[in-house]
Amino acid sequence: MKQLRKHLSVALLGVAGVFVIPAVAPLSLAVAATSVAGLPDFTDLAEKAGPAVVNIRTVERVKTSQSGSSAQDEEMQEFFRRFFGAPLPQLPSPRNRRSNPGAETEEQVPRGVGSGFIISADGYIMTNAHVVDGADEVFVTLTDKREFKAKIVGADKRTDVAIVKIEGSNLPRLVMGDSEKIRVGEWVMAIGSPFGLDNTVTAGIVSAKARDTGDYLPLIQTDVAVNPGNSGGPLINMRGEVIGINSQIYSRSGGFMGISFAVPIDEAMRVADQLRTTGKVTRGRIGVQIGDVTKDVAESLGLPRAQGSLVQRVEPGGPAEKAGVEAGDVILKFNGTSIERSSDLPRLVGATKPGSRSTLTVWRKGAMRDLSVNIAELEADQAVVAQPQKPKGPRTANALGLVVSELTPPQLKELKIDGGVLVDLAEGASARAGLRSGDIVLRLNNTDVKDVKQFNELVAKLDAKKTALLLVRRGDSSQFVTVKPLSP
């Protein structure tokens, strides 16, 4: 999602940020969708699934001065903005007008309305984490108008999944499907509370699978109409099974524009199981910073195709460093599972139990090798390594347009590297490629750089018709940069 914010804003679906999501438990909706004039019939699906979809509203307790204005309901504020072009006037509460001017009172302020669905007959409900985030109290309303005060069991912001619990028995529930088996083009249905309109049914098709919009979430893209208030509601296939939790939309206006996203139910259920058991989610980590493997990088490294995760930085003392992973490696497999895109790695590692041993298959200098790594628990980001000081002294620019100098022994020790050269000046092709003073060149094509003399000799032998690949370190990160040598 982040990369698309340049043109489109991503709206989390919920009036004032609320959505309900489906979780565990099997309840088979033996529904056969019939076709009318070649189109699917959703009537039976809606009738069977509707009672298990709930409305979620949240409130926040805030302190207000008795001389000031009380907080206004966000939906009413939105109404005034849309139709009158101005916010709702702030008026003192009647009960406060005769009170002590300086006193403070605590009031319950509505935060928003979202959706959710029941995953077990004893009252566990799945929804989005952003629906209940910051809420002091959560209320769940069923289709039969019964209202329950809910307890937040746990929420995971990384996947936007939350579980809440109400006290009940023999409640209607939805059956979970298999989001791995969905097909682009198949019909799906959503139920939720857009703009607070309970149990609203909309339908469409799956537009795409596994959209990269976050570190841990390959989202399902659909054209099902979802709007603020739909967040947390179920995305249901024609067999009556939940395959996703409606979570986000692309929008320039805040309303539906034809593209919506759902959290795959397989991912959501893995999170939900941990939330129900421990109230939190534990993830693995190996301590690397990664980037994409572009076509140019793959060709320069001799990879058959562009795949894997490019290691840009290895955390000092972290699991990856202890396993022998180096900056510039390309991780191709994790425990035998191929890494097609860089975003695949954190998902696979995150789903691995901390303390277990795993195998990384890496590409280094034209060959594959297996490394054994001990998975650690995901924690706060580590401190970055200080950038080295640039030594003085004139140097001659080489065919890559680089003026480089030696790294001192203290600098090599501080950076925990065995060799490399420091860039004093980058001009021409190197400057256009993004290199700058202070960068450190660690490798040229598949050869490690030891010192200035060796580096300039390697540059002098480059074929001017081929692009050179430099492994460059900047601060605490490393990445490959392609540069076209100057013709002699």
| Mean pLDDT, residues 203-221 taken together | 83
CB 443 within 8 A of CB 418: no
Same domain, 313 and 239: no
Say if residue 210 is exposed, middle or buried (CB neighbours under 10 Å; 0-12, 13-18, 19+).
Answer: middle
Same domain, 268 and 294: no
Same domain, 256 and 296: no
Same domain, 267 and 289: no
Output Rg (C-alpha) for the chain, integer angstroms.
Answer: 28
Q: How confident is the model at residue 85 (pLDDT cuts 50, 70, 90)?
A: very low
| Mean pLDDT, residues 242-253 taken together | 86
Distance CA 228, CA 196 (A): 8
CATH assignment of the domain containing 230: 2.40.10.10
How confident is the model at residue 147, as a pLDDT? 94
| Mean pLDDT, residues 3-15 taken together | 46
Place of tokens 């995760």: 309
| Mean pLDDT, residues 353-376 taken together | 93
How confident is the model at residue 204, as a pLDDT? 95
Q: Considering 251, 278, 305, which residue would you say is the last residue of a domain?
A: 278
Q: How confident is the model at residue 384 (pLDDT cuts 50, 70, 90)?
A: very low
| Mean pLDDT, residues 25-48 taken together | 68
Q: How confident is the model at residue 149 (pLDDT cuts 50, 70, 90)?
A: very high
Distance CA 65, CA 95 (A): 12
The reply to whether 143 falls in a domain is no
The reply to whether 115 falls in a domain is no
% of the chain exceeding 70 in pLDDT: 77
Mean of pLDDT over the chain: 81
Residue 316 scores a pLDDT above 80: yes
Q: What phi and psi values does residue 91 have, to the nearest 5 degrees?
A: -115, 145
> Using one digit for the tens of pLDDT, what is the confidence trace for 155-174?
998 889 999 999 989 999 99
Q: Considering 244, 278, 312, which residue would you say is the last residue of a domain?
A: 278
Distance CA 329, CA 275 (A): 35
Same domain, 187 and 249: yes
The reply to whether 322 falls in a domain is yes
| Mean pLDDT, residues 2-6 taken together | 39
Same domain, 363 and 411: no
Residue 228 scores a pLDDT above 60: yes
| Mean pLDDT, residues 145-153 taken together | 94
**Number of domains the chain contains:** 3
Same domain, 177 and 256: yes
> Using one digit for the tens of pLDDT, what is the confidence trace for 189-209?
999 999 889 999 999 999 999
Residue 211 scores a pLDDT above 90: no
User: Is 231 marked as binding a ligand?
Assistant: yes
User: The tokens of 143 are what?
Assistant: 């289709």
Same domain, 289 and 264: no
> Using one digit for the tens of pLDDT, what is the confidence trace for 290-299?
888 888 888 8
Distance CA 476, CA 315 (A): 9
Residue 176 scores a pLDDT above 50: yes
| Mean pLDDT, residues 168-187 taken together | 94
Same domain, 242 and 299: no
Residue 484 scores a pLDDT above 70: yes
State the catalytic residues: 130, 160, 231
The reply to whether 135 falls in a domain is no
CB 111 within 8 A of CB 40: no
The reply to whether 186 falls in a domain is yes
pLDDT greater at residue 318 or residue 93: 318
Q: How confident is the model at residue 271 (pLDDT cuts 50, 70, 90)?
A: very high
CB 118 within 8 A of CB 174: yes
CATH assignment of the domain containing 419: 2.30.42.10
| Mean pLDDT, residues 79-85 taken together | 46
The reply to whether 83 falls in a domain is no
Domain region containing 364: 284-377
Highest mean pLDDT among 326-340, 419-433, 435-449: 326-340
Torsion-angle region of residue 67: left (phi > 0), alpha (psi -120 to 50) or beta? alpha
Residue 451 scores a pLDDT above 80: yes
Same domain, 295 and 436: no
The region of weakest confidence among 250-254, 369-373, 468-472 is 250-254
CB 241 within 8 A of CB 177: yes
| Mean pLDDT, residues 215-235 taken together | 88
The reply to whether 151 falls in a domain is no
User: Is 424 marked as binding a ligand?
Assistant: no
Same domain, 175 and 274: yes
| Mean pLDDT, residues 10-32 taken together | 46
Question: pTM of the full predicted structure?
Answer: 0.62
User: Is 229 marked as binding a ligand?
Assistant: yes
% of the chain exceeding 90 in pLDDT: 41
Same domain, 373 and 451: no
Q: Is 273 helix (H, G, I), strand (E, B) or coil?
A: helix
Eight-state DSSP code of residue 390: P
Pairing of strands 39-40, 53-65: unpaired
Q: Considering 278, 300, 320, which residue would you say is the last residue of a domain?
A: 278
Q: How confident is the model at residue 125 (pLDDT cuts 50, 70, 90)?
A: very high
pLDDT greater at residue 26 or residue 302: 302
Residue 300 scores a pLDDT above 50: yes
The reply to whether 268 falls in a domain is yes
User: The tokens of 254 are what?
Assistant: 């805040």
Residue type, 91: L
